[in-house]
Homo-oligomer: A and B are copies of this chain.
Amino acid sequence: MQQKTTSRLSKLIKSKKAKVGIVGMGYVGSALAEAVKSGGFSILGFDIDSEKVAKINSLGKKNFQATENIKRLEECDVIAICVPTPVDEYNRPNFSILTKAASGIAANLKKGQLVILESSVAPQTTRNLLYPILASGSQLKGSDFFLAFSPERVDPGNGKFNVTNTPKVVSGIDEASLKLATLFYSSFVEKVYPVSSLEAAEMTKVLENVFRLVNISLINEINQFTKSIGIDIWEVIGAASTKPFGFLAHYPGPGAGGDCIPVLPYHLLDAAAKTKVNLKVVEAAAAVNEAQPQKVAQKAVEVINGKFVKNGHNPNVLLVGVSYKEETADIRQSPALKIWKELEKSGMNVSYHDPYVQNINGYTSKKLTSKTVREHDLIIITTAHKKIPYRTLVRSKKPLIDTKNTLSKYRQPHIIRL
């Protein structure tokens, strides 16, 4: 029975007649859609955000449409889940978006469909959380649908690597699922890397993200030391980068943001706590990252106290760049917003400029003119988008905290590095 169903979907994938449903049209779903389209498949995107849906449909493409109606999953042969898996305010994994999407899929699951989870999760989540929802919520037995896990590796703003040319790690709950998922991704990704279990693939993504968090936190804490004795950490990183083996450069900044690097380590810590394994290095790195925005705010207070409090007005601070990463509009877990909160606690008036983020929390991005700069007592570069008119900032001679060393070529006393 299962054999027969496999061959039906195989044929549909090979002939590009398989219709691909993508649940969650955020940056992961959108990047996947681009790649799937390039493979010659038709796509139906699902999202609860009617604006996103309308925007996709306004493109008027026959092979790429979107809907809010989860029932239309029945039209699909392959279903990729690309929803966020954030943590709550206590840094515990919050699976509510995933379980809601899973329930919707389960209610509409059809025999022979392949469901692939792309969202980042700790090991055992696909098997112990997603699979039971799909199996019990639907009227199907486990062998009547296929389940795979293939972690997204989308790096927003990366001009070199996209879904197509980044190797794709693929796993399945059984051999048939692995085979179909491998076949599917092989139609539009240059290199597919199958692994032996769902858990190996889940852990791969976790390891990649934990590696990043730990090394970013390491360099941020080392920067505290080098700063204390007057060493330029950026020069040191440049020198260490000449080592042709055993080193990979990471850079100081206001802290790692986004919905992956600072989030997945908490998924891991949660899973490790359940098996009573103590992850000291990961915990230390997470703590350093949590504290980093505060360190930037402290620096702001130092600068302000030295110059402006005597003037008797609440200092005005301009945050330049509020998304968590350069060349994106994504503000999830953005350190800039955490710095913002800290600055307000210290009695500062905060405004911001970001070419990618027009509105946030009732505020609107300020135009970055000489006049805007003059109206502020301190500028903090939190995200170094290319589009920002840095010369306007430098010319103003206003105190400026450059968390990203963007202005390294300007050696001026009003430019303060982290």
Contacts and interface: CB of A to CB of B under 8 A. Distances in A.
Interface string A260-278: 0000000010011001111
Given A193-B239, A203-B226, A231-B123, A247 B284 contact: no
Interface stretch (A79-87, A137-145, A207-215, A310-318): A207-215
A285 interface: yes
Interface stretch (A102-110, A217-225, A355-363, A371-379): A217-225
Interface stretch (A45-53, A194-202, A395-403, A407-415): A194-202
B281 A217 contact: yes
Given A217-B281, A236-B207, A280-B284, A271 B225 contact: yes
B155 A225 contact: no
A204 B249 CA distance: 11
B225 A268 contact: yes
Given A225-B275, A277-B225, A169 B239 contact: yes
B207 A166 contact: no
Nearest to A207: B240
A409 to B, nearest CB: 15
A281 B281 contact: yes
Contact of A200 (B155, B160, B199, B235): B235
A179 to B, nearest CB: 18
B231 A203 contact: yes
A288 B277 contact: no
A220 B101 CA distance: 35
Nearest to A268: B225
A368 interface: no
A285 B277 contact: no
A161 B244 CA distance: 8
A228 B169 CA distance: 22
A281 B237 contact: no
Interface of A: 123-124, 153, 155, 158, 160-161, 166-167, 169, 191, 193, 195-197, 199-201, 203-204, 207-208, 210-212, 214-215, 217-218, 221-222, 224-226, 228-233, 235-237, 239-240, 242-248, 268, 271-272, 275-285, 287-288
Given A228-B277, A248-B248, 10 more contacts: A123-B231, A195-B239, A200-B236, A203-B231, A207-B222, A208-B247, A211-B246, A211-B247, A214-B218, A221-B282
Q: Which 4 residue pairs across A and B have the least CB separation, nearest first? A: A167-B242, A228-B275, A280-B284, A284-B284
20 contacts: A161-B244, A166-B243, A196-B232, A197-B231, A199-B229, A200-B231, A200-B236, A203-B231, A204-B240, A207-B240, A208-B246, A210-B218, A211-B240, A211-B248, A214-B215, A221-B279, A225-B279, A228-B277, A229-B275, A247-B248
